[in-house]
Amino acid sequence: MESEESVYSHCQNCGRWFRVGIRFATAEEFIDAKIRKRTVDCPFCGKNTLVEKQYLRFDEQRIDGHITHVEGRYFV
Ligand SMILES: [Zn+2]
């Protein structure tokens, strides 16, 4: 099944969601993953923000329109 999946991080400064360069093929992989903490510059406000699992979300949209939405804070 064709799908478009992305991982977004929640900026702790401005509260916006931005796409991070982490990829998981499925929501299950995301749920099971151990994600190393790191900081990145938010593309919206330019400030340093912490990227860790509790601030991440995984969204997948399949070609048939099915949407999967998983928030990392429930799986830390
Ligand atoms: Zn920001």
Q: What is the pLDDT of residues 25-75, one digit of tens each?
A: 899 999 999 999 999 999 999 999 999 999 999 999 989 999 999 999 999
> Is the pLDDT reported for residue 3 higher than 90?
no
Q: How far is the CA of 1 from the centre of ligand 1 (A)?
A: 34
CA 58 to ligand 1 centroid distance, Å: 18
Q: How many whole angstroms from 41 Cα to the centroid of ligand 1? A: 8
pLDDT at residue 72, rounded to an integer: 97
C-alpha separations of 75 from 25, 32, 33, 46, 54 in Å:
17, 8, 9, 28, 8
Cα(49) to centroid of ligand 1, in Å?
A: 7
Pairing state of beta strands 56-62 and 3-10? antiparallel
Mean per-residue pLDDT, 2-23: 93
pLDDT band, very low/low/confident/very high, at 1 (cuts 50, 70, 90): low
String of b and e for 51-70 (b: at least 16 CB within 10 Å)?
bebebbbbbbeeeeeeeeeb
SS3 label, residue 69: strand
pTM of the model: 0.89
Q: Which pair of tokens denotes residue 14?
A: 């401005």
What is the Å distance from ligand 1's center to 63 Cα? 30
